[in-house]
Protein backbone atom coordinates (compact mmCIF):
# COMPACT_ATOMS: atom_id res chain seq x y z
CA UNK A 1 0.00 0.00 0.00
CA UNK A 2 2.84 2.31 0.84
CA UNK A 3 4.52 1.74 -2.54
CA UNK A 4 1.21 2.29 -4.36
CA UNK A 5 0.78 5.53 -2.48
CA UNK A 6 3.98 6.92 -4.05
CA UNK A 7 3.48 5.25 -7.44
CA UNK A 8 0.39 7.27 -8.44
CA UNK A 9 2.08 10.71 -8.22
CA UNK A 10 5.04 9.38 -10.19
CA UNK A 11 2.74 8.12 -12.96
CA UNK A 12 0.99 11.49 -13.13
CA UNK A 13 4.34 13.24 -13.31
CA UNK A 14 5.62 11.04 -16.16
CA UNK A 15 2.32 11.49 -17.98
CA UNK A 16 2.54 15.27 -17.70
CA UNK A 17 6.15 15.31 -18.86
CA UNK A 18 5.26 13.11 -21.83
CA UNK A 19 2.40 15.37 -22.93
CA UNK A 20 4.48 18.51 -22.46
CA UNK A 21 7.27 16.94 -24.46
CA UNK A 22 4.91 16.30 -27.38
CA UNK A 23 3.52 19.81 -27.25
CA UNK A 24 6.98 21.35 -27.01
CA UNK A 25 8.06 19.36 -30.04
CA UNK A 26 5.17 20.73 -32.12
CA UNK A 27 5.73 24.23 -30.81
CA UNK A 28 9.37 24.05 -31.80
CA UNK A 29 8.45 22.99 -35.33
CA UNK A 30 5.97 25.86 -35.55
CA UNK A 31 8.62 28.30 -34.33
CA UNK A 32 10.94 27.07 -37.07
CA UNK A 33 8.29 27.47 -39.77
CA UNK A 34 7.40 31.02 -38.69
CA UNK A 35 11.05 32.05 -38.45
CA UNK A 36 11.90 30.53 -41.81
CA UNK A 37 9.08 32.39 -43.58
CA UNK A 38 9.39 35.77 -41.85
CA UNK A 39 13.19 35.79 -42.09
CA UNK A 40 12.72 35.71 -45.85
CA UNK A 41 10.73 38.93 -45.57
CA UNK A 42 13.48 40.44 -43.43
CA UNK A 43 15.95 39.58 -46.16
CA UNK A 44 13.36 40.48 -48.79
CA UNK A 45 12.89 37.43 -50.88
CA UNK A 46 10.59 38.74 -53.63
CA UNK A 47 8.95 35.36 -54.16
CA UNK A 48 8.05 35.18 -50.46
CA UNK A 49 6.74 38.74 -50.59
CA UNK A 50 4.43 37.78 -53.45
CA UNK A 51 3.22 34.77 -51.45
CA UNK A 52 2.00 36.99 -48.64
CA UNK A 53 1.36 40.36 -50.29
CA UNK A 54 0.20 40.43 -53.88
CA UNK A 55 1.28 43.57 -55.75
CA UNK A 56 -2.35 44.37 -56.49
CA UNK A 57 -3.56 43.85 -52.91
CA UNK A 58 -2.44 47.34 -51.85
CA UNK A 59 -4.59 48.83 -54.62
CA UNK A 60 -7.36 46.29 -55.27
CA UNK A 61 -9.32 48.72 -57.45
CA UNK A 62 -6.54 48.50 -60.05
CA UNK A 63 -7.12 45.24 -61.91
CA UNK A 64 -4.47 45.78 -64.57
CA UNK A 65 -1.37 43.67 -65.00
CA UNK A 66 1.95 45.42 -65.09
CA UNK A 67 5.05 44.45 -67.00
CA UNK A 68 7.40 46.92 -65.30
CA UNK A 69 7.75 45.69 -61.72
CA UNK A 70 10.99 47.51 -60.86
CA UNK A 71 9.24 50.27 -58.90
CA UNK A 72 6.98 47.74 -57.22
CA UNK A 73 9.83 45.50 -56.10
CA UNK A 74 11.75 48.50 -54.81
CA UNK A 75 8.72 49.61 -52.78
CA UNK A 76 8.67 46.32 -50.88
CA UNK A 77 12.44 46.35 -50.53
CA UNK A 78 12.29 49.79 -48.91
CA UNK A 79 9.23 48.93 -46.82
CA UNK A 80 10.71 45.78 -45.29
CA UNK A 81 14.26 47.07 -44.83
CA UNK A 82 13.71 47.51 -41.05
CA UNK A 83 11.10 44.77 -40.67
CA UNK A 84 11.47 42.55 -37.61
CA UNK A 85 9.34 40.31 -35.44
CA UNK A 86 9.21 38.48 -32.13
CA UNK A 87 7.33 35.26 -31.42
CA UNK A 88 5.42 35.78 -28.19
CA UNK A 89 3.58 32.48 -27.79
CA UNK A 90 2.50 29.37 -29.66
CA UNK A 91 -0.74 27.45 -29.11
CA UNK A 92 -1.39 23.99 -30.54
CA UNK A 93 -4.92 22.57 -30.47
CA UNK A 94 -5.62 19.19 -28.85
CA UNK A 95 -5.76 17.21 -32.08
CA UNK A 96 -2.62 18.96 -33.36
CA UNK A 97 -4.23 19.85 -36.68
CA UNK A 98 -4.07 23.60 -36.27
CA UNK A 99 -2.09 26.10 -34.24
CA UNK A 100 -1.63 29.83 -33.70
CA UNK A 101 1.46 31.91 -33.14
CA UNK A 102 1.20 35.28 -31.40
CA UNK A 103 3.69 37.75 -32.82
CA UNK A 104 4.88 41.28 -32.30
CA UNK A 105 5.74 42.87 -35.63
CA UNK A 106 8.05 45.84 -36.10
CA UNK A 107 7.26 47.77 -39.28
CA UNK A 108 7.60 51.33 -40.48
CA UNK A 109 4.73 53.69 -39.65
CA UNK A 110 2.22 52.64 -42.32
CA UNK A 111 -0.35 55.21 -41.18
CA UNK A 112 2.10 58.07 -41.80
CA UNK A 113 3.04 56.55 -45.16
CA UNK A 114 -0.62 56.29 -46.20
CA UNK A 115 -1.20 59.94 -45.21
CA UNK A 116 1.77 61.07 -47.27
CA UNK A 117 0.65 58.91 -50.18
CA UNK A 118 -2.86 60.42 -50.17
CA UNK A 119 -1.41 63.94 -50.09
CA UNK A 120 1.03 63.20 -52.91
CA UNK A 121 -1.64 61.59 -55.08
CA UNK A 122 -4.07 64.49 -54.56
CA UNK A 123 -1.31 66.98 -55.36
CA UNK A 124 -0.56 65.16 -58.61
CA UNK A 125 -4.26 65.06 -59.52
CA UNK A 126 -4.50 68.84 -59.02
CA UNK A 127 -1.30 69.47 -60.98
CA UNK A 128 -2.49 67.30 -63.86
CA UNK A 129 -5.79 69.13 -63.93
CA UNK A 130 -3.90 72.43 -64.10
CA UNK A 131 -1.69 71.19 -66.92
CA UNK A 132 -4.43 69.57 -69.01
CA UNK A 133 -7.40 71.69 -67.96
CA UNK A 134 -9.19 68.43 -67.22
CA UNK A 135 -10.48 66.83 -64.04
CA UNK A 136 -10.59 63.35 -65.59
CA UNK A 137 -7.26 62.08 -64.36
CA UNK A 138 -6.66 58.44 -63.50
CA UNK A 139 -3.69 56.71 -61.92
CA UNK A 140 -2.38 53.34 -63.01
CA UNK A 141 -1.02 50.69 -60.68
CA UNK A 142 2.49 51.68 -61.72
CA UNK A 143 1.75 55.36 -61.00
CA UNK A 144 0.66 54.53 -57.47
CA UNK A 145 3.71 52.41 -56.76
CA UNK A 146 5.92 55.13 -58.19
CA UNK A 147 4.51 57.55 -55.62
CA UNK A 148 5.15 55.04 -52.83
CA UNK A 149 8.71 54.48 -54.02
CA UNK A 150 9.44 58.22 -54.04
CA UNK A 151 8.03 58.62 -50.53
CA UNK A 152 9.94 55.67 -49.12
CA UNK A 153 13.14 56.86 -50.83
CA UNK A 154 12.98 60.43 -49.53
CA UNK A 155 11.16 60.27 -46.17
CA UNK A 156 12.25 58.73 -42.88
CA UNK A 157 9.45 56.83 -41.16
CA UNK A 158 9.50 55.70 -37.56
CA UNK A 159 9.23 52.04 -36.62
CA UNK A 160 5.99 51.02 -34.90
CA UNK A 161 4.91 47.84 -33.14
CA UNK A 162 1.87 45.78 -34.03
CA UNK A 163 0.64 42.54 -32.45
CA UNK A 164 -0.87 39.88 -34.66
CA UNK A 165 -1.79 36.20 -34.61
CA UNK A 166 -0.77 33.78 -37.35
CA UNK A 167 -2.82 30.65 -37.94
CA UNK A 168 -1.09 27.46 -39.07
CA UNK A 169 -2.47 24.19 -40.37
CA UNK A 170 -0.86 20.75 -40.18
CA UNK A 171 -0.55 18.15 -42.90
CA UNK A 172 0.41 14.60 -42.00
CA UNK A 173 3.51 13.06 -43.51
CA UNK A 174 3.88 9.56 -42.14
CA UNK A 175 3.42 10.17 -38.41
CA UNK A 176 4.89 13.69 -38.41
CA UNK A 177 3.13 17.04 -38.81
CA UNK A 178 4.22 19.51 -41.43
CA UNK A 179 3.07 23.02 -40.48
CA UNK A 180 2.11 25.68 -42.96
CA UNK A 181 1.13 29.33 -42.38
CA UNK A 182 -2.41 30.05 -43.49
CA UNK A 183 -2.31 33.14 -45.70
CA UNK A 184 -5.25 35.56 -45.71
CA UNK A 185 -6.03 39.27 -46.07
CA UNK A 186 -5.66 39.91 -42.35
CA UNK A 187 -2.14 38.49 -42.34
CA UNK A 188 -1.21 40.48 -45.45
CA UNK A 189 -2.43 43.67 -43.81
CA UNK A 190 -0.58 42.92 -40.56
CA UNK A 191 2.71 42.25 -42.34
CA UNK A 192 2.61 45.69 -43.96
CA UNK A 193 1.68 47.39 -40.69
CA UNK A 194 -1.97 47.95 -41.64
CA UNK A 195 -1.09 49.78 -44.86
CA UNK A 196 -3.81 48.02 -46.86
CA UNK A 197 -6.51 49.35 -44.54
CA UNK A 198 -4.98 52.80 -44.27
CA UNK A 199 -4.81 53.24 -48.06
CA UNK A 200 -8.53 52.52 -48.37
CA UNK A 201 -9.55 54.70 -45.41
CA UNK A 202 -11.67 57.57 -46.83
CA UNK A 203 -10.79 59.66 -43.78
CA UNK A 204 -7.02 59.13 -43.89
CA UNK A 205 -6.89 62.86 -44.67
CA UNK A 206 -9.18 65.14 -42.73
CA UNK A 207 -11.13 67.86 -44.57
CA UNK A 208 -8.65 70.41 -43.19
CA UNK A 209 -5.65 68.40 -44.43
CA UNK A 210 -7.31 67.97 -47.82
CA UNK A 211 -7.90 71.70 -48.25
CA UNK A 212 -4.32 72.38 -47.17
CA UNK A 213 -3.05 70.13 -49.99
CA UNK A 214 -5.13 72.14 -52.48
CA UNK A 215 -3.69 75.42 -51.18
CA UNK A 216 -0.09 74.19 -51.07
CA UNK A 217 -0.37 72.94 -54.64
CA UNK A 218 -1.75 76.29 -55.80
CA UNK A 219 1.21 78.10 -54.22
CA UNK A 220 3.65 75.83 -56.09
CA UNK A 221 2.04 76.39 -59.52
CA UNK A 222 3.46 78.51 -62.30
CA UNK A 223 1.33 81.43 -63.51
CA UNK A 224 0.29 79.41 -66.58
CA UNK A 225 -0.79 76.42 -64.49
CA UNK A 226 -2.57 78.72 -62.05
CA UNK A 227 -4.47 80.41 -64.86
CA UNK A 228 -5.61 77.05 -66.23
CA UNK A 229 -6.69 75.77 -62.85
CA UNK A 230 -8.54 78.92 -61.79
CA UNK A 231 -10.45 79.07 -65.07
CA UNK A 232 -9.04 82.52 -65.75
CA UNK A 233 -10.39 82.25 -69.29
CA UNK A 234 -13.88 82.69 -67.84
CA UNK A 235 -13.00 86.38 -67.47
CA UNK A 236 -12.40 86.48 -71.21
CA UNK A 237 -15.59 86.27 -73.24
CA UNK A 238 -13.79 86.50 -76.58
CA UNK A 239 -10.38 86.24 -78.15
CA UNK A 240 -9.71 89.97 -77.84
CA UNK A 241 -6.07 90.56 -77.03
CA UNK A 242 -7.04 93.16 -74.40
CA UNK A 243 -9.20 90.67 -72.51
CA UNK A 244 -6.53 87.98 -72.69
CA UNK A 245 -4.03 90.46 -71.24
CA UNK A 246 -6.52 91.28 -68.50
CA UNK A 247 -6.86 87.62 -67.48
CA UNK A 248 -3.07 87.18 -67.49
CA UNK A 249 -2.59 90.30 -65.37
CA UNK A 250 -5.09 89.09 -62.76
CA UNK A 251 -3.42 85.67 -62.57
CA UNK A 252 -0.08 87.42 -62.00
CA UNK A 253 -1.69 89.33 -59.14
CA UNK A 254 -2.97 86.09 -57.57
CA UNK A 255 0.38 84.38 -58.07
CA UNK A 256 2.30 87.14 -56.27
CA UNK A 257 -0.14 87.73 -53.40
CA UNK A 258 -1.82 84.40 -52.57
CA UNK A 259 -1.53 83.07 -49.05
CA UNK A 260 -3.84 81.19 -46.74
CA UNK A 261 -4.63 79.92 -43.26
CA UNK A 262 -6.92 76.92 -42.80
CA UNK A 263 -9.42 77.05 -39.95
CA UNK A 264 -11.78 74.50 -38.46
CA UNK A 265 -14.06 72.05 -40.25
CA UNK A 266 -17.71 71.31 -39.66
CA UNK A 267 -18.49 67.74 -40.68
CA UNK A 268 -21.93 66.26 -41.23
CA UNK A 269 -21.84 62.76 -42.70
CA UNK A 270 -20.29 62.88 -46.15
CA UNK A 271 -20.28 66.68 -46.24
CA UNK A 272 -17.87 69.11 -44.63
CA UNK A 273 -17.28 72.84 -44.63
CA UNK A 274 -13.82 74.19 -43.89
CA UNK A 275 -13.23 77.83 -43.05
CA UNK A 276 -10.11 79.51 -44.38
CA UNK A 277 -8.54 82.96 -44.49
CA UNK A 278 -7.52 83.76 -48.05
CA UNK A 279 -5.04 86.52 -48.86
CA UNK A 280 -5.19 87.77 -52.43
CA UNK A 281 -4.97 91.03 -54.35
CA UNK A 282 -7.39 93.76 -53.29
CA UNK A 283 -9.89 93.85 -56.15
CA UNK A 284 -11.82 96.66 -54.45
CA UNK A 285 -8.72 98.85 -54.44
CA UNK A 286 -8.13 98.11 -58.11
CA UNK A 287 -11.71 98.94 -59.05
CA UNK A 288 -11.64 102.13 -56.98
CA UNK A 289 -8.47 103.39 -58.69
CA UNK A 290 -9.71 102.27 -62.09
CA UNK A 291 -13.07 104.05 -61.74
CA UNK A 292 -11.29 107.18 -60.54
CA UNK A 293 -8.99 107.23 -63.57
CA UNK A 294 -11.84 106.30 -65.91
CA UNK A 295 -14.08 109.12 -64.65
CA UNK A 296 -11.25 111.58 -65.15
CA UNK A 297 -10.69 110.36 -68.67
CA UNK A 298 -14.40 110.27 -69.65
CA UNK A 299 -14.89 113.86 -68.49
CA UNK A 300 -12.02 115.04 -70.65
CA UNK A 301 -12.11 116.42 -74.18
CA UNK A 302 -9.91 113.55 -75.34
CA UNK A 303 -12.67 111.04 -74.58
CA UNK A 304 -15.06 112.92 -76.88
CA UNK A 305 -12.49 113.15 -79.65
CA UNK A 306 -11.42 109.48 -79.33
CA UNK A 307 -14.80 108.02 -80.22
CA UNK A 308 -16.41 104.79 -79.02
CA UNK A 309 -13.80 102.26 -80.16
CA UNK A 310 -10.84 104.20 -78.82
CA UNK A 311 -12.67 104.80 -75.52
CA UNK A 312 -13.19 101.03 -75.28
CA UNK A 313 -9.51 100.32 -75.93
CA UNK A 314 -8.43 103.12 -73.58
CA UNK A 315 -10.59 101.68 -70.80
CA UNK A 316 -8.86 98.31 -71.04
CA UNK A 317 -5.44 99.95 -71.18
CA UNK A 318 -6.22 101.94 -68.04
CA UNK A 319 -7.48 98.86 -66.19
CA UNK A 320 -4.38 96.86 -67.13
CA UNK A 321 -2.18 99.70 -65.93
CA UNK A 322 -3.98 99.88 -62.58
CA UNK A 323 -3.74 96.09 -62.13
CA UNK A 324 -0.01 96.05 -62.97
CA UNK A 325 0.71 98.79 -60.44
CA UNK A 326 -1.43 97.33 -57.67
CA UNK A 327 0.31 96.21 -54.47
CA UNK A 328 -2.72 96.21 -52.18
CA UNK A 329 -3.86 92.88 -50.76
CA UNK A 330 -6.79 91.80 -48.65
CA UNK A 331 -7.66 88.81 -46.49
CA UNK A 332 -11.14 87.37 -46.69
CA UNK A 333 -12.85 84.63 -44.72
CA UNK A 334 -14.20 81.93 -47.02
CA UNK A 335 -16.03 78.66 -46.41
CA UNK A 336 -15.07 75.76 -48.69
CA UNK A 337 -17.51 72.83 -49.11
CA UNK A 338 -16.02 69.33 -49.42
CA UNK A 339 -17.61 65.99 -50.21
CA UNK A 340 -16.42 62.52 -49.22
CA UNK A 341 -17.13 60.21 -52.16
CA UNK A 342 -16.30 57.07 -50.19
CA UNK A 343 -12.66 57.17 -51.26
CA UNK A 344 -11.50 60.55 -49.94
CA UNK A 345 -12.51 64.14 -49.26
CA UNK A 346 -12.66 66.30 -52.37
CA UNK A 347 -13.40 69.91 -53.22
CA UNK A 348 -15.98 69.85 -55.99
CA UNK A 349 -15.40 72.12 -58.99
CA UNK A 350 -12.27 73.28 -57.21
CA UNK A 351 -10.94 75.55 -59.95
CA UNK A 352 -14.13 77.62 -60.10
CA UNK A 353 -14.46 77.77 -56.30
CA UNK A 354 -10.90 79.05 -55.92
CA UNK A 355 -11.30 81.43 -58.85
CA UNK A 356 -14.29 83.11 -57.25
CA UNK A 357 -12.49 83.42 -53.92
CA UNK A 358 -9.22 84.73 -55.38
CA UNK A 359 -10.44 87.05 -58.14
CA UNK A 360 -13.10 88.67 -55.96
CA UNK A 361 -14.88 91.58 -57.66
CA UNK A 362 -12.78 91.08 -60.77
CA UNK A 363 -14.16 87.64 -61.57
CA UNK A 364 -15.62 89.32 -64.66
CA UNK A 365 -14.42 92.28 -66.68
CA UNK A 366 -15.54 95.66 -65.30
CA UNK A 367 -14.88 97.36 -68.62
CA UNK A 368 -18.10 98.42 -70.28
CA UNK A 369 -18.36 98.65 -74.01
CA UNK A 370 -18.36 102.40 -74.64
CA UNK A 371 -18.90 102.08 -78.36
CA UNK A 372 -22.28 103.83 -78.13
CA UNK A 373 -21.02 106.68 -75.90
CA UNK A 374 -20.61 109.44 -78.47
CA UNK A 375 -21.42 112.42 -76.25
pLDDT band at 48 (very low <50, low <70, confident <90, very high): low
Distance CA 163, CA 225 (A): 47
Rg, Å, the chain Cα set: 33
The residue-averaged pLDDT of 61-86 equals 78
Q: Please, how many CA atoms are within 13 Å of residue 118, restricted to the half-sphere of its CB? A: 27
Q: What is the pLDDT of residues 181-215, one digit of tens each?
A: 998 889 989 999 999 999 999 999 999 999 999 99
Mean pLDDT, range 312-341, rounded to an integer = 91
Ranges of H-type helices in the chain: 2-42, 46-52, 70-79, 110-132, 141-154, 185-191, 195-199, 207-220, 223-229, 241-257, 283-298, 301-325, 350-359
Interatomic CA distance for residues 221 and 131, integer angstroms: 10
CA-to-CA separations, 132 to 127, 128, 129, 227, in angstroms, rounded: 9, 6, 5, 12
What integer pLDDT is reported at residue 271 of this predicted model? Answer: 95
How many Cα atoms within 13 Å fall on the side-chain side of residue 157?
28
Q: List, for residues 286-295, the tens digit of each pLDDT value.
A: 999 999 999 9
- Whole-angstrom distance, CA of residue 202 vs CA of residue 45: 32
Instruction: Please state, in angstroms and rounded to a whole number, the distance separating the CA atoms of residues 219 and 212.
Output: 11
pLDDT > 70 fraction of the chain, expressed in percent and rounded: 81
> Is the pLDDT reported for residue 148 higher than 90?
yes
Q: Does residue 175 surpass a pLDDT of 90? A: no
Amino acid sequence: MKSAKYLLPLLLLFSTLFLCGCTSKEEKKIDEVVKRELDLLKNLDSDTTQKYISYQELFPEEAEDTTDTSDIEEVFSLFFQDFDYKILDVHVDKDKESATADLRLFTLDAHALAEDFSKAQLKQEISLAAADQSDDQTFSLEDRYRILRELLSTNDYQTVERNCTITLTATKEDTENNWEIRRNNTLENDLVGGLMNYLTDPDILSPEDTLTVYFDTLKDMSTEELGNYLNADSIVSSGDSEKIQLADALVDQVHSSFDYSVGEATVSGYHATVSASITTFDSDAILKNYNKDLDTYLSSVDAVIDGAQKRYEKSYSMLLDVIDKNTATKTVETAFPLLNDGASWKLEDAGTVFGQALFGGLSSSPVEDAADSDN
